[in-house]
Amino acid sequence: MTNNLFTSYSIITYGCQMNINDSERIAGFFDEKGLKEAPAEKSDIVVINSCSIRQSAVDRIEGKIRKLRKIKNKPLIIVTGCLLEKDRKKLSPLADHVLPITLVSSWPLPFLKKENIPFFNLSLKRSGPTAYVSIMTGCNNFCSYCVVPYTKGREFSRPATEVIKEVKEAIKKGYREVWLLGQNVNSYNGGVDFSKLLKEINKIHGNFWLRFTTSHPKDFSDNIIFTIKDCKKVTNYLHLPVQSGDNAILEKMNRPYTAQDYRETVKRVRREIPDIALSTDIIVGFPGETEKKFRNTATLFSEIQFDMAYIARYSSRSQTAASEMEETVSEEEKRRREKILVEILKESSLEKNKPYKGKKLRVLVTKESKKKGFLFGKTEGYKTVLFEGSKELIGKFIKAEITDYSSWGLKGKISRK
């Protein structure tokens, strides 16, 4: 392929919302350079924005590259994103380039003249009905299982003025949901603290919801609880990863709180905001997690009655402190523990979803369902609603009457009143 043939690109994103948001910046930058977004099979450049959080994610990327190599068009393959040194080395011989994401404007591509534009100054091409806004990058917490401090570096907060400007632009363009992103948003320090940032954004004129992830229990103050309670635009949804319900495991994970601290935090949150929807992250099979320790997690998990949870089987990642620990739980046992928690979750989320039947809820329409003529939306508590409607509604608020529920979501119909 000759250099002047770079006219189109495709971005394949793995991982979290932060990666989605980073891909939106690459897309915005490439668009500005005159390239057109196209399906991977028809693109001159394919960018893979990767995720190293689990070994399986890296394996999937490897498989993807091999598949892309078979495309007739022979696109230039660039791997970027959240990568450990070891994965970088592994993927290098397969891809054409493995490049740092924050230096997109200086990537060695013929149509780019090294501009060194700071990553957050690149324009955004948003890819969905939610305006994701990264307020910080990196992390200083060094949870012993996590690669983020190694792949994304130390914590850095974007100045509040910059964040607020980006939010205002999104609202002006009609976005109805703003989602602030950071690995540990409660330690945000971009000139103001996180509560103040939420309050400032809440003051922005417009009809929108304000969400944020991720919160760390150790930094989750009363100040934040009252801010969620008092700010009308901040949704009554909280994602608060607990990771384990056993104190010894929490210590080994380098999560500086106890199961009791977590219970107390949830109690305070629910006392102030009784209808808050609560979700969490849990890792099963961490090194040293005996049956008894796992039972402590299962007890906390069923006691708290979460609305939703993301349960992961422990996966050792190189460079992390936990990778030095001896793995004591077999894959089979991890699966068994995961299954036990999923069963608990099925019951708690069913109980949590039940009271919505017959209610009329405000829903943000997010995407089309595979079922023809049906759409998905999210409630303020981040519950998925399936209902009949036309795709012009995507990105808009509607009112839906909830007609049915299951553990994993709600069904409804558009209500005119």
Binding site for ligand SF4 (CB under 6 A): 139, 141-143, 146, 148-149, 183-184, 216
Least separation in angstroms between CB 146 and ligand SF4: 3
**CA 399/CA 395 separation, integer angstroms:** 13
**Least CB distance to ligand SF4 at residue 373 (A):** 40
Angle between helical axes of 160-172 and 194-202 (0-180°, round to 10): 30
CB of 82 to ligand SF4, least distance (A): 10
Q: How far is the CB of 145 from ligand SF4 (least distance, A)?
A: 7
- Give first-to-last CA distance, the chain, whole Å: 58
CB of 179 to ligand SF4, least distance (A): 17
Least distance (Å) between residue 19 CB and ligand SF4: 13
Q: Measured from the CB of residue 144, what is the shortest distance to ligand SF4 in angstroms?
A: 9
- Closest distance between ligand SF4 and the C-beta of residue 183, in Å? 4
> Between 109 and 312, whose beta carbon lies closer to ligand SF4?
312
Peptide bond into 214 cis (omega under 30): yes
- The SS3 call for residue 80 is strand
Closest approach of ligand SF4 to the CB of residue 257, in Å: 12
Torsion region of 358: left, alpha or beta (phi above 0 gives left; psi -120 to 50 gives alpha): left
Helix, strand, or coil (residue 390): coil
Tokens read off for 188: 């945000």
Residue type, 83: L
Interacting residues of 181 by C-beta distance below 8 A, sequence separation 6+: 17, 18, 21, 132, 133, 134, 135, 212, 213
CA dihedral 347, 353, 354, 357 (to 10 degrees): -160
Nearer to ligand SF4, 50 or 184 (CB): 184
Q: Which residue has the tokens 């990327």?
A: 61
Among residues 402, 405, 415, the alpha carbon closest in space to that of 359 is found at: 402
Q: Which is nearer to ligand SF4, 278 or 398 (CB)?
A: 278
Whichever of 125 and 218 has its CB closer to ligand SF4, that residue is 218
Tell the smallest beta-carbon distance from residue 375 to ligand SF4 (Å).
Answer: 33
Q: Which is nearer to ligand SF4, 141 or 384 (CB)?
A: 141
143 or 304: whose CB is closer to ligand SF4? 143
Nearer to ligand SF4, 309 or 364 (CB): 309
The secondary structure of 170-207 as a DSSP string is HHHTT-SEEEEE-TTGGG-BSSSBHHHHHHHHHTSSSS
In the three-class reduction of DSSP (H, G, I as helix; E, B as strand; rest coil), residue 256 is classed as coil
Distance of CA 308 to the CA centre of its chain: 14
Closest to ligand SF4 by CB, 242 or 375: 242
Taking the least distance from each CB to ligand SF4, the nearer of 49 and 320 is 320
Determine which helix (DSSP H) or strand (DSSP E) holds 322, and give its type and residue range.
Answer: none
Q: Which residues of 85-122 are buried (b: 16+ CB within 10 A; e: fewer)?
A: eebbebbeebbeebbebbebbebebebeeeeeeebbeb
Q: Cβ 199 to ligand SF4, closest distance in Å?
A: 24
Nearest to 92 by CA among 103, 107, 78, 82: 78
DSSP 307: S
Helix (H, G, I), strand (E, B) or coil at 99: coil
Tell me whether residue 90 or residue 218 sits nearer to ligand SF4 (CB atom). Answer: 218
